Every structure is written in structure tokens, then in C-alpha cells.
């Protein structure tokens, strides 16, 4: 796999490059947002690992620019650990968010998980009804388009899959383990903070937290707001 690493800290970058190269990935490293964006255009990498604290352009803006031009999977790695930072990165188009300091094994596991999802998305073509209508929400399952009250809602690939999974059975509680297995294609995903961040981003984009109810210590329930 060809991985583009956009990271300004030489020590961190060197460790990641060595580890990913040892895991049989080809890695290109850029230390600025501008150079990273150009590398996406020039090389069309299979996956991007992106730091948020870049010297020239904020990483969230880099993420948004990449997503406007490409569907390449993006894993954000950052020392910013607040929920708002995770949510913002996911809203800008990131597929995953990893807080520094992190273990290289976890990064490699996240890369594999995101890669598996990308392969499934491009190769699976199961027949499906044309759309799902849930109150003001309409999910076009063939065109993968979302509207609320007739207005388009722009979701990342993971947000779309999460919404489709949760909305299959309105009112049913979906355990975290089932969500992670269905959407992230994994049995384990750390403390599942990434799931919480994606749910928060999805609620915001749908215009109301009432669409997805948290069920303490279990998971989430999709509801049609009154």
C-alpha cells in the first residue's frame, strides 16, 4: 500500500515511516500541508496519515481540501484530544482519528481496518431498495445521497455507513460491538471513542441529537424525532 504521511515532527515521522515500511507499505513523507496536498495530486496514494498541527496550513483545512478532490482514506493523528477536535476532523472528511501518543501497532491496525472498509465499499454491490424514508430523512441507497427536509446532507463514507446501519431498525438498540463489526469491520476498536465522535458528527449534520439516542453502557438507538 502507498501511504502518504503528512507530519511536521521529524522524530515522529521517522518512527512512523520505519514502522510502516517494515509492515510492507511504501511511504512518502511531507512535512507541510501544501506539500502534502501536492503529493495527493501527484501520487494518488492509497491512504493518508495526517497530523493536524502543521506549520503552514491547519490539518483540518488540509483534510477538507483532500476530501474535496479525492476519496482516499484519511487517518488523522494529533495531540489534540478534545472531542470537538475529533468531531471537526471527521466532519472535514477524516475516516479515523488517533490521539498522540499512540502505539505503532494500533496505527497499523487502524490502517488495515480503514483499508478493508475501502475494499468492501468498492467491490460490494448487493441489491437494495432504492431509498429509505424516515420522517424528513431520505436515504438514497443506490445513489448514496442523504436529504433532510429536502436539503442535501453531505456525509463521509463512514458516517453514511453508520447512518444506514443504525436506521435499518428504528427504535432498536444497536450494541457498540455490533456497530463496530458492521461499520468498521473489526471486533476491537480501542475504547471506541472514534464511534462516539462519528455519532456526534452525524447528529450535528442531521440537525438534531434526537436522531440517535445514546443507551448507556450498551450502544445507540436510531429514532425519528417527533
CATH label of the domain that carries residue 30: 3.40.50.2300
pLDDT of 126 reads: 47
Q: What pTM was estimated for this model as a whole?
A: 0.61
Residues 106 and 49 in one domain: yes
Do residues 74 and 135 both lie within one domain? no
Segments forming the whole domain that contains residue 180: 131-222
Which among 72, 96, 123 is the end of a domain? 123
State mean pLDDT over 16-21. 94
Of 79, 98, 123, the residue that ends a domain is 123
Is residue 57's pLDDT more than 50? Answer: yes
Same domain, 136 and 117: no
Instruction: Looking at the structure, tell me whether residues 151 and 207 fall in a common domain.
Output: yes
Residue 187 has what pLDDT?
55
* Gyration radius of the chain over CA positions: 18
104, 123, 142 - which closes a domain = 123
Q: Three-class SS of residue 52?
A: coil
Rounded distance between C-alpha atoms, residue 90 and residue 216, angstroms: 23
- 114-165 pLDDT per residue, tens: 887 665 554 444 444 678 999 999 999 888 889 999 999 998 888 898 999 9
Do the Cβ atoms of 92 and 84 come closer than 8 Å?
no
pLDDT for the residue numbered 12: 93
* 7 and 104, same domain (yes or no): yes
Q: Look-up: residue for cell 511504501?
A: 26
Calpha distance 163→72 (Å, rounded): 20
User: What is Dmax (Cα atoms) for the chain?
Assistant: 53
Q: Check whether residue 114 and residue 218 sit in a common domain.
A: no
- Cell numbers given for 6: 503528512
**pLDDT at res. 178:** 86
Quick one: 104 and 195 in the same domain? no
Residue pair 148/204 in contact by the 8 Å Cβ criterion:
no
Bond from prior residue into 68 cis (ω within 30 degrees of 0): no
Number of domains in the chain: 2
Amino acid at each position: 500500500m502507498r501511504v502518504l504521511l503528512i507530519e511536521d515532527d521529524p522524530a515522529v515521522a521517522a518512527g512512523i515511516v520505519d514502522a510502516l515500511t517494515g509492515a510492507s507499505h511504501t511511504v512518502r513523507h511531507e512535512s507541510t500541508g501544501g506539500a502534502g496536498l501536492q503529493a495527493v495530486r501527484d501520487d494518488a496514494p492509497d491512504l493518508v496519515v495526517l497530523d493536524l498541527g502543521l506549520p503552514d496550513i491547519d490539518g483540518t483545512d488540509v483534510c477538507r481540501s483532500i476530501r474535496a478532490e479525492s476519496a482516499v482514506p484519511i487517518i488523522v493523528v494529533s495531540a489534540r484530544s478534545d472531542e470537538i477536535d475529533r468531531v471537526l476532523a471527521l466532519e472535514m472528511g477524516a475516516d479515523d482519528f488517533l490521539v498522540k501518543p499512540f502505539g505503532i501497532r494500533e496505527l497499523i491496525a487502524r490502517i488495515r481496518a480503514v483499508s478493508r472498509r475501502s475494499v468492501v465499499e468498492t467491490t460490494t454491490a448487493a441489491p437494495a431498495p432504492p431509498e429509505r424514508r424516515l420522517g424528513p430523512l431520505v436515504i438514497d441507497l443506490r445513489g448514496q445521497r442523504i436529504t433532510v427536509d429536502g436539503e442535501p446532507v453531505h456525509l463521509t463514507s463512514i458516517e453514511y455507513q453508520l447512518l444506514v446501519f443504525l436506521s435499518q431498525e428504528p427504535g432498536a438498540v444497536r450494541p457498540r460491538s455490533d456497530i463496530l463489526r458492521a461499520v468498521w469491520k473489526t471486533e476491537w476498536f480501542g475504547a471506541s471513542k472514534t464511534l462516539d465522535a462519528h455519532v456526534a458528527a452525524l447528529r450535528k449534520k442531521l440537525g438534531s441529537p434526537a436522531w440517535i439516542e445514546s443507551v448507556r453502557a450498551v450502544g445507540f438507538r436510531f429514532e425519528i424525532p417527533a
